[in-house]
Amino acid sequence: QKEVEQNSGPLSVPEGAIASLNCTYSDRVSQSFFWYRQYSGKSPELIMSIYSNGDKEDGRFTAQLNKASQYVSLLIRDSQPSDSATYLCAGTESGAGSYQLTFGKGTKLSVIP
């Protein structure tokens, strides 16, 4: 199993709908998790961080972490065309002493007006 896996998409949702982005991870990457948004030609921008099981909400964004099933998800409510971007899931290694991020390849989201 790849360390961090995401469906590459593209995922298309109508404006105003909920976009659901999913990510699974291996045992090696199981410490902390982050969602980044990357517009084409731009740098990754931190959206959410999540460290423990459960849900974490910030505005229109909700991150969910389930360590037993080894998945982390990002929900975007009331999707807007400006949310159209590639969403990167990333995790850190367990107990390695290095906080390097391991990224999935990203899911491309298109919000249709």
Partner 1 sequence: NAGVMQNPRHLVRRRGQEARLRCSPMKGHSHVYWYRQLPEEGLKFMVYLQKENIIDESGMPKERFSAEFPKEGPSILRIQQVVRGDSAAYFCASSPPLGTQPQHFGDGTRLSIL
User: What does the binding site for partner 1 look like in residue numbers (CB under 8 A)?
Assistant: 31-32, 34, 36, 42-46, 49, 51, 88, 90, 92, 96-106
CA atoms within 13 A on the CB side of 34: 16
Q: How far is the CB of 99 from partner 1 (least distance, A)?
A: 5
Give the DSSP letter string of 53-109.
SEEEEETTEEEEEETTTTEEEEEESS--GGG-EEEEEEEEESS-S---EEE---EEE
Q: Nearest approach, Cβ of 82 to partner 1 (angstroms)?
A: 19
Looking at beta carbons only, is 69 or 98 nearer to partner 1?
Answer: 98
Q: Quote the least distance from Cβ 51 to partner 1, whole Å.
A: 7
Residue closer to partner 1 by CB (options 62, 106) is 106
Closer CB to partner 1, 5 or 17, in the complex = 5
Q: Find the radius of gyration of the CA atoms of the chain.
A: 14
